[in-house]
Structure 1
Amino acid sequence: MAAQRIKEYRPTEDEEYMNERQLEFFRVQLVTRRVELVASIAGFSKNLKETNIRKPDPVDQSSNHTDMSRDLQTRHRQQKLIRDIDYALERIADREYGYCEVSGEEIGLRRLLARPVATMSVDVQEMYERKASGHQRFAVTSCVI
């Protein structure tokens, strides 16, 4: 019965941020997604064992390798997402979920609903992305010639 209420519940901005109900909502969302990912990885492993890697035709073999490479990349992303979900579940248990790891400010419900494994606020995430891409903005306050 409690699980049904959580599925029907949708966090809103007009309630206390990261209250018990919101934390439980995100915990259920994360656990559900984790179960789906683990099942997907298990299915991939089963299919990989059943796939005939050697094909007599070079074109078929090349196509098969391309497909396998794409599937392995997908599996790698899924495994990374499982680690991110585990970390988010730890943060829920520690009551740190929903707050930026860097600044301590609220990440925000809209961002968490879109990306439940988010660990940084939008502003901090954008700053890190700008630094990583090398497009830092520098302000020149004065210039002496």
Structure 2
Amino acid sequence: MKPETFLPQDYRPAEDEPFMNDRQLEYFRRKLLTWKADILNGSRETLEGLAAGSRNMPDITDRASEETDRALELRTRDRQRKLVSKIDAALRRIDAGEYGYCEVTGEPISLRRLDARPIATMTLEAQERHERRERVHRED
């Protein structure tokens, strides 16, 4: 296990430093771990709210509205559960030394893209090609 990398609180990855150096990797690791913790805390709050919110409402409209709210919340949490697995995959890529590189072309993914979407696995260009191919196949 390597020693923890010092990271100033105001650190932001910059284009003029070596790509995916220890500081950048630590920056993205912390960003991913914070994001994951936020999602898991939100999920816990949702589950507690659902358990506490089970009440018998006599008004059918109120009951329908509450059921709709619950279904929407559960769908949102399901999407976030999938997001947690993508975050875990990104953390594994950091540990394996593969983080920040496009899985299709092997080229570096821009720091701006990674900062906005730290689970990105493709460069913007490769992602756009992938989505165009998906659209074409869907229309077939």
TM-score, length of structure 2 as denominator length:
0.90
Q: How many percent of aligned residue pairs carry the same amino acid?
A: 46
Q: Deviations over 1:54-89 (max 9, x none)?
A: 321110011011101110111011111111110000
Give the match for residue 88 of structure 2: 86
Q: Deviations over 1:31-72 (max 9, x none)?
A: 111111111111111111111253211100110111011101
Give the match for residue 143 of structure 1: none
Please tell me whether the aligned partners of residues 104 and 126 of structure 2 are also in contact (alpha carbons under 8 angstroms): yes
Give the match for residue 139 of structure 1: none
**73, 76, 82: which one aligns with 1:74:** 76
Q: Structure 2 unaligned runs (5+)?
A: none
What is the aligned residue count? 135
Q: Deviations over 1:11-39 (max 9, x none)?
A: 00111110111000000111111111111
**18, 21, 29: which one aligns with 1:19:** 21
Is 1:41 aligned to residue 43 of structure 2?
A: yes
Give the match for residue 123 of structure 2: 121
Q: Structure 1 unaligned runs (5+)?
A: 136-145
Q: How many Å apart are 1:111 and its aligned residue? A: 0.3
Question: How many Å separate the matches in 2 of 1:5 and 1:106?
Answer: 22
Distance 1:76 1:60, change over 3 A: same
RMSD of aligned alpha carbons: 1.9
Please tell me whether the aligned partners of residues 7 and 25 of structure 1 are also in contact (alpha carbons under 8 angstroms): no
Distance 1:90 1:119, change over 3 A: same
Please tell me whether the aligned partners of residues 57 and 63 of structure 2 are also in contact (alpha carbons under 8 angstroms): yes
Structure 1 residues 50-61: aligned runs within 5 Å = 50-61=52-63
Give the match for residue 108 of structure 1: 110
Question: How many Å separate the matches in 1 of 2:80 and 2:55?
Answer: 23
Question: How many Å separate the matches in 1 of 2:47 and 2:9?
Answer: 31
Computing the radius of gyration over CA atoms, which structure comes out larger, 1 or 2? 1
Q: How many Å apart are 1:132 and its aligned residue? A: 1.3
Of structures 1 and 2, the one scoring higher in RCO (CA 8 A, sep 6+) is 2
- Partner letter of residue 68 of structure 2? T
